Amino acid sequence: MKNNLKVLITGADGFIGSHLTEALVEAGYDVRAFVYYNSFNSYGWLDTVSKEIKNKIEFFSGDIRDPNGVREAMKEVDIVFHLAALIAIPFSYHSPDSYIDTNVKGTLNIIQAARDNKVKRVLVTSTSEVYGTAQFVPITELHPKQPQSPYSASKIGADAIADSFYRSFNLPITIVRPFNTFGPRQSARAVIPTIISQLLNGTEEIKLGDITPTRDLLFVKDTVNGFLKIAQCDELIGQEVNIATQSEISVGDLAQHLINIINPNAKIITDSLRLRPEKSEVFRLFGSNEKLKSFTGWSQKFTLEDGLKETIDWFSKKENLQQYKSDIYNV
């Protein structure tokens, strides 16, 4: 199936971005993948996709912090999926400037170029971290924003800049807010790859931070399906919309579940290095998906069990597991 719409995906070389890029190619879109310029000529996770998919992608190497390259990448584009961002919370504690440059200024560059090029739809990727610890559940899009880390603050700033362009210039923006997405290719700074990689490498003392917080865990293919549905729904222009499972599980219960599957002899130990400052830890995330469902008909296709199985299977392949440094704390 050939689709006449040309799409640009920023952060196409990353975890969610690479899965979204594959899905857009398979859906017949004309795809341009904005990947982070580097001297290795690496396209990140897109280096690992099938040759058939790769041959249908137009690659653009650049840096979203540079408005000139962004403007060039945006030429003749109909829809922009903006996913490029710095995402690690611990790294944001000591390097907050880089989060402002990439997440706030980078988003400004994207939406300014989209405005100049009269792009038909812009999907700006937010994060459930903007809500902080739940004040009520399930967390709807009307929940107050709480910047509990410099990362979260930068994403709140990016969302606000995007919203202002919708209100000031009628730019057709939707703010897409995925909850805790997991799956193959996720970086080791996230809890599920941290646990799985330690277990598969034979570690019997699984190092974690606080195991009491809860998370709303969403398999990456469900997240990607949410992006596709939102892009096809004009009624969501000017809106913020969650992608969530409307459920929660504690980090401790999740870890124990993975231990039971992979190595029942392993046990959890607390690593003080991995503890967030108390006022910075988000203790409860449990998102509402009512808005997404009512506007688009989206539904969760993968249970937590399904998603974990596919993720473990992927990590079990030697060529994938060896890319992860499970013996250190990945910030």
pLDDT tens column, 56-98: 999 999 999 999 999 999 999 999 999 999 998 888 999 999 9
Q: Does a structural domain hold residue 36?
A: yes
Confidence check: pLDDT of 329 > 70: no
Q: Quick one: how far is CA 170 from the chain centroid?
A: 26
Q: What is the model's pLDDT at position 278?
A: 85
Q: Find the largest Cα–Cα distance for the chain.
A: 59
Q: What is the model's pLDDT at position 272?
A: 79
164: part of which helix (H) or strand (E)? helix 150-169
Q: Which are the contacts of 296, defined by CB distance < 8 A and separation ≥ 6?
A: 226, 229, 230, 232, 233, 236
Q: Does a structural domain hold residue 120?
A: yes
> CB neighbours (10 Å) of residue 310?
17
Tokens of 157: 């700033």
**26-30, 126-130, 325-329: which range is least confident on average?**
325-329
Backbone φ and ψ for 139, nearest 5 degrees, come out as -75, 115
pLDDT tens column, 228-286: 999 999 999 999 999 999 999 999 999 999 999 999 999 999 887 777 888 989 999 99
Q: Does a structural domain hold residue 49?
A: yes
Q: Does a structural domain hold residue 262?
A: no
Confidence check: pLDDT of 121 > 60: yes
pLDDT tens column, 270-304: 887 777 888 989 999 999 999 999 999 999 999 99
Q: What is the model's pLDDT at position 328?
A: 64
Q: Does a structural domain hold residue 146?
A: yes
Confidence check: pLDDT of 31 > 90: yes
**18-22, 102-106, 273-277: which range is least confident on average?**
273-277
Report the pLDDT averaged over residues 101-109: 98
Q: Does a structural domain hold residue 280?
A: no
Q: What is the model's pLDDT at position 147?
A: 97
Domain enclosing residue 233, as ranges: 6-181+218-243
Q: Does a structural domain hold residue 303?
A: no
State how many domains the chain has. 1
Q: State the CATH number of the domain containing residue 105.
A: 3.40.50.720
Q: Before 150, cis peptide (omega within 30)?
A: no
Confidence check: pLDDT of 330 > 70: no
How many Cα atoms are found within 13 Å in the side-chain-facing hemisphere of 32? 19
Alpha helices in 170-303 (DSSP H): 191-200, 220-231, 251-262, 290-296
Confidence check: pLDDT of 331 > 80: no
The candidate with the shortest Cα–Cα distance to 86, out of 223, 162, 176, 187, is 187
- The chain-wide mean pLDDT, for the chain, equals 95
At residue 189 the predicted structure's pLDDT band, cuts being 50, 70 and 90, is confident
Q: Name the percent of the chain lying above pLDDT 90.
A: 88
Confidence check: pLDDT of 176 > 60: yes
Confidence check: pLDDT of 179 > 70: yes
Q: Does a structural domain hold residue 279?
A: no
